Structure 1
Amino acid sequence: MSRWVPFGLVSLVWLFLVIKNYRQHQYRRMLWWLGCWGLSALTWTPLAFSFGTDGELAQIHTSWWSGGVWVLRPFDPADMDTSFWLNIVMTMPQGMLLCLNWPRLRWPQWLLAGLGTGLALEGGQAIGNALVSLGRWVDINDVITNFTGVVLGALVMTWVTRHWSIDLD
């Protein structure tokens, strides 16, 4: 039960921010915080999903550190399973919401937001592993794919708004 405490505490923060933005009629910003909650639910709960076979997982180079499994070698062929690509898809909506909420941001800020997202999600898993044995893998590939998803989402939304001449302000 204690493994759910970090997600529960973070959920209270997201709930507060969602309600605050709802009351202020800032619905785009409310969707941003709901997206943050969704990413937290997918990454900071003790429920882990794997889309690789046991044989593929055994080939991944891992280290055990601070209560969890760490993958520090990027782009290992064994890591390039379905979950690698799903991590990109998972964070693309947050990149789209980034553009909807802060339309004046430019690509350097998108890069920072993508990197911040990847580091926050994997950092949360590392902290959860250390504090409550969350049981999640902390993977450099996830940082890279989360980063990529946010940036791609921002690019897609920028293209959509320019292609259809949508004013976000």
Structure 2
Amino acid sequence: MRSWIPFIILLIIWGTMLNQTLRLPLHGWQWFTMLSALIYTLAIAYLCFTPTQYNWGGPHKIFYHVLGVPCNIIPFQALSPDFFLNIVMTVPAGIYWYLLSDRHDCKFVLLFGILLGISIETTQFLCDLLFHVERFVDIDDVITNTAGVLVGFYTMVILKTTVLAGWISQLTIKFVKL
């Protein structure tokens, strides 16, 4: 049960975010954007911070152990389906950055992607160290998370030039002001 504590804490935070979201003066498709973003964050929390068994099968990587937590600090040792699934996992984060942020220049999108990947990996490290959730830290995940954010964001940039531009405008909130 101890290994579920990080997810339970994130679930409580998520519930607080949902409560605050329901108080926002949103209209129409903006509700869809906010509620789907919250569901996405819940899915990411489940995928990244629930207990799992270490999977040492598949491509071989050299893992170093830092305070007992396995860490891959050498990028691109081996490509596996997880490598590409991490890109897919963070494409929605790039889409939500486009819809919720007013910062659309490349450096902020890149910074958001890098910080998202580092945040996930750092939290996984701390969760494994403190609660033994049996996750490992992987530099490839930071790289692929960043790539996924960039793919999602630039997909929206391209879609904004199509007939979907009006609908995308209805989904947009510009909630994050930096």
Q: TM (normalized to structure 2)?
A: 0.83
Instruction: Give deviations 1:118-149, integer Å, cap 9, x for gaps.
Output: 01111110000110111101000001001110
Work out the CA distance in 2 between the residues paired with 1:127 and 1:16: 22
Unaligned runs of at least 5 residues, structure 1 = none
**1:14 counterpart residue number:** 14
**1:37 counterpart residue number:** 42
Percent of aligned pairs with the same residue?
28
Higher mean alpha-carbon deviation, 60-69 vs 109-118, is at 60-69
**1:131 counterpart residue number:** 130
Q: Secondary structure at the match of 2:52?
A: coil
Instruction: Give deviations 1:64-123, integer Å, cap 9, x for gaps.
Output: 1223211010011x2x11010000001101111111112543221111110111011111
Q: Secondary structure at the match of 1:151?
A: helix
Amino acid across the alignment from 2:11? S
Size of the aligned set, in residue pairs, is: 163
Counterpart contact for 1:67–1:133, Cα < 8 Å? no
User: Which runs of structure 1 show a deviation greater than 3 angstroms over 4 or more consecutive aligned residues?
Assistant: none
Q: Give the drift of 1:17.
A: 0.7
Q: 1:48/1:159 Cα in 2 relative to 1: closer, same or farther (>3 Å)?
A: farther
Counterpart contact for 1:31–1:97, Cα < 8 Å? no
**1:118 counterpart residue number:** 117
Unaligned runs of at least 5 residues, structure 2 = 174-178
Please list, as runs of the form range in 1=range in 2, the aligned pairs for 1:18-167 lying within 5 A after superposition.
Answer: 18-24=18-24, 25=26, 27=31, 28-48=33-53, 54=57, 56-57=58-59, 59-76=60-77, 78=78, 80-164=79-163, 165-166=165-166, 167=169
Q: Give the drift of 1:48.
A: 4.9
Q: TM (normalized to structure 1)?
A: 0.87
Work out the CA distance in 2 between the residues paired with 1:38 and 1:49: 20
Q: Secondary structure at the match of 1:159?
A: helix
Q: Give the drift of 1:32.
A: 2.4
**RMSD of equivalent CA atoms:** 1.9
